[in-house]
């Protein structure tokens, strides 16, 4: 699902399209030829359709792709907020309409309730949202017959909001806006930090940049941002956390590859993998699940002038593999060998990669994405409990297939953007038991999403406000 880092959180009178909401008509020309924003009822109608698609099992990315381009920015902002409040909205809808309405009506009601239930965070005044949700029902032939029902439910909500909200406060799904099984899993996996993780998941993620080591430094880039009156701070070794999200086209040096957008947790992969290696040597490196290419690029940014590295990037999806090409081309980095192949089937690509052991392998394994829910709020509602075991099996298979390709004395960095222990600590312990030639090296383990790494113990985390992640570094014993 596309990140919402570039989307504003509109308050009246500014809406998702930077214009006041309009109850009637289509988007058109305003004074001096300026385009008017789409009518709010249109945005709510499209948001409800996208929410219905997600509830039906479709990804947010696909649901948004089906939205008309002129509506998409506003719908994305509203959909993200609706998904972050969906547990509360569903509980409120059950208070107002105990019998399940048809899916279209349910999605429209939940959209309006998710956006309006908390006036302090509502993108528009609650009464405006209710008026325009009713208008959305009237304007759609598929929901027109039930517009009076929508009106009755939402008007009652406006009258009885405090009582309705109080009646749902005891529901953990409404309180935390995550499925019940997800909440319970976090309670077991992180008994000290589960509340912090859930709170972070419902917050807006910051926009974090990675400064290319070959083109600038964080200190120099902070000066360039300061000259533009943009607030920012350095995080980690190469990162810059912006005070407010900005369109990438307006960032100094973005088009020339000076910076890339990459979360601070993800920026830890390249330095962890390369630490202790002789970077001037002719290294063979593998990024096993490489798309869209951010970590491959970060590895290449560490390559000293004149060093003869061979970097291979694998990606099973041909379309996503093209994104690696695009990333490296924009950053104007030394070329990498990009292969469309399944990392778990080395016989298909091993010879093409050179047929020699690797000095270092980065395995950013497929996972539940439970650590990046704030950027992809649909994930929590799409995942099922059985997904964890299925993905853990795949992760174990990838570790077993790739470990023989590491030279003695070389290393493998295993990482996932997950906070579930089955995809982190438990996976590592099982791997070490199966492979007696693997030595666990110092690494962060589970990174808790948010500002402080461990439940507020670090009041101003030097790594910044990062996503949830897991890292484990293994070194192969010398023969």
Nearest to 240 by CA among 463, 410, 12: 463
d(CA 124, CA 325): 41
Q: What is the pLDDT of residues 346-360, one digit of tens each?
A: 999 999 999 999 999
Which of 244, 262, 280 marks a domain boundary? Answer: 262
For residues 416 and 279, membership in a common domain is answered with yes
Nearest to 397 by CA among 387, 389, 386, 385: 389
Q: Give the structural domain span for 50.
A: 40-176
Q: What is the pLDDT of residues 357-384, one digit of tens each?
A: 999 999 999 999 999 999 999 999 999 9
Query: Where do runs of H (alpha helix) occur along 246-289?
Result: 269-274
pLDDT at residue 463 in the model: 79
Is 142 marked within a binding site? Answer: no
Which of 239, 262, 285 marks a domain boundary? Answer: 262
Is 294 marked within a binding site? Answer: yes
Do residues 475 and 361 lie in contact, with contact meaning Cβ atoms separated by under 8 Å?
no
For residues 126 and 258, membership in a common domain is answered with no
Query: Does any domain span residue 409?
Result: yes
For residues 165 and 220, membership in a common domain is answered with no
d(CA 336, CA 297): 9
Query: For 64, phi and psi rounded to 5 degrees?
Result: -70, -30
Query: Does any domain span residue 135?
Result: yes
Which of 262, 281, 300 marks a domain boundary? Answer: 262
Is 295 marked within a binding site? Answer: yes
What contacts 283, CB < 8 A, 6 or more positions away? Answer: 277, 307, 309, 310, 359, 360
Residue position matching structure tokens 């239930």: 117
Query: Does any domain span residue 192?
Result: no
For residues 119 and 235, membership in a common domain is answered with no
| Strand partners of residue 53 | none
For residues 212 and 336, membership in a common domain is answered with no
pLDDT at residue 479 in the model: 73
Is 315 marked within a binding site? Answer: yes
Query: Does any domain span residue 137?
Result: yes
* Beta-carbon count within 10 A of 377 CB: 24
d(CA 260, CA 270): 14
Query: Does any domain span residue 26?
Result: no
pLDDT at residue 239 in the model: 97
Do residues 438 and 408 lie in contact, with contact meaning Cβ atoms separated by under 8 Å?
no
Query: Does any domain span residue 51?
Result: yes
| Strand partners of residue 415 | 364, 471
Q: What is the pLDDT of residues 24-53, one digit of tens each?
A: 434 333 334 445 789 999 999 999 999 999
What CATH number is associated with residue 251? 3.30.70.1170
For residues 373 and 287, membership in a common domain is answered with yes
Please give, one letter per residue, the 3-state secondary structure of 192-226. Answer: CCHHHHHHHHCCCCCCEEEECCCCCCHHHHHHHHH
Do residues 42 and 132 lie in contact, with contact meaning Cβ atoms separated by under 8 Å?
no
pLDDT at residue 454 in the model: 57
Query: Which residues in the chain show pLDDT less than 50?
Result: 1-34, 457-459
Is 364 marked within a binding site? Answer: yes
Dihedral, 62, 68, 74, 75 alpha carbons, nearest 10 = -40
Do residues 140 and 45 lie in contact, with contact meaning Cβ atoms separated by under 8 Å?
yes
Do residues 352 and 447 lie in contact, with contact meaning Cβ atoms separated by under 8 Å?
no
For residues 245 and 367, membership in a common domain is answered with no
Residue 8, helix vs strand vs coil: coil
For residues 382 and 413, membership in a common domain is answered with yes
For residues 235 and 277, membership in a common domain is answered with no
For residues 275 and 317, membership in a common domain is answered with yes
How many domains would you assign to the chain? 3
For residues 64 and 159, membership in a common domain is answered with yes
Do residues 23 and 41 lie in contact, with contact meaning Cβ atoms separated by under 8 Å?
yes
Distances from the Cα of 85 to the Cα of 114, 117, 134, angstroms: 5, 9, 20
Is 293 marked within a binding site? Answer: yes
Residue 228, helix vs strand vs coil: coil
d(CA 438, CA 420): 23
Query: Does any domain span residue 3?
Result: no
Q: Do strands 232-235 and 239-242 pair parallel, antiparallel, or not at all (unpaired)?
A: antiparallel
Q: Do strands 337-340 and 310-315 pair parallel, antiparallel, or not at all (unpaired)?
A: parallel
Is 365 marked within a binding site? Answer: no
Active site positions, annotated: 417
For residues 272 and 363, membership in a common domain is answered with yes
d(CA 174, CA 286): 43
What CATH number is associated with residue 83? 1.10.940.10
Query: Does any domain span residue 198?
Result: no
What CATH number is associated with residue 442? 3.40.50.150
Is 290 marked within a binding site? Answer: yes
């Amino acid at each position: 699902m596309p990140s919402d880092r570039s989307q504003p959180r509109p308050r009246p009178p500014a809406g998702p399209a930077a214009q006041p909401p309009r109850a009637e008509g289509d988007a058109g020309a305003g004074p001096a030829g300026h385009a008017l924003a789409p009518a709010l009822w249109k945005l709510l109608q499209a948001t409800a359709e996208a929410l219905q698609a997600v509830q039906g099992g479709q990804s947010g990315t696909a649901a948004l792709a089906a939205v008309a381009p002129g509506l998409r920015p506003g719908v994305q902002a509203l959909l993200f907020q609706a998904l972050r409040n969906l547990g509360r909205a569903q509980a409120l809808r059950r208070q107002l309409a105990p019998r399940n309405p048809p899916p279209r009506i349910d999605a429209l009601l939940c959209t309006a309730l998710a956006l309006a239930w908390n006036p302090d965070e509502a993108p528009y005044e609650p009464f405006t949202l209710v008026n325009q949700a009713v208008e959305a029902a009237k304007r759609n032939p598929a929901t027109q017959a039930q517009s009076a029902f929508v009106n009755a439910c939402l008007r009652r909500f406006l009258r009885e909001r405090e009582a309705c909200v109080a009646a749902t406060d005891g529901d953990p799904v409404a309180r935390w806006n995550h499925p019940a099984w997800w909440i319970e899993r976090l309670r077991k996996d992180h008994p000290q930090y589960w509340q912090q993780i859930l709170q972070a998941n419902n917050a807006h993620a910051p926009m974090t940049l990675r400064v290319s080591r070959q083109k600038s430094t964080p200190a120099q880039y902070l000066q360039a941002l300061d000259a533009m009156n943009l607030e920012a701070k350095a995080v980690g070794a190469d990162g810059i956390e912006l005070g407010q999200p900005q369109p990438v086209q307006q960032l100094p040096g973005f088009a020339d590859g000076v910076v890339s957008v990459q979360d601070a947790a993800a920026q830890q992969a390249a330095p962890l993998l390369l630490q202790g290696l002789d970077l001037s040597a002719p290294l063979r490196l593998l990024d096993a699940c490489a798309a869209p290419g951010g970590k491959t690029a970060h590895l290449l940014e560490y390559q000293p002038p004149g060093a003869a590295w061979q970097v291979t990037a694998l990606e099973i999806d041909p379309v996503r593999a093209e994104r690696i090409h695009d990333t490296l081309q924009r950053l104007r980095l030394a070329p990498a060998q990009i292969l469309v192949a399944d990392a778990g089937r080395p016989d298909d690509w091993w010879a093409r990669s050179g047929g020699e052991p690797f000095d270092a392998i980065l395995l950013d394994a497929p996972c539940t994405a439970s650590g990046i829910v704030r950027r992809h709020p649909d994930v929590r509602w799409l995942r099922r409990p059985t997904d964890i075991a299925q993905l853990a099996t795949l992760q174990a298979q990838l570790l077993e297939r790739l470990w023989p390709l590491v030279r003695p004395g070389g290393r493998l960095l295993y990482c996932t953007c997950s906070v579930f222990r089955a995809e982190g600590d438990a996976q590592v312990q099982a791997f070490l038991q199966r492979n007696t030639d693997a030595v666990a090296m110092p690494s962060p383990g589970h990174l808790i999403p948010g500002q402080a790494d461990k439940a507020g113990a670090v009041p101003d985390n030097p790594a910044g406000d990062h996503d949830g992640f897991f890292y484990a570094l293994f070194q192969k014993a010398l023969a």
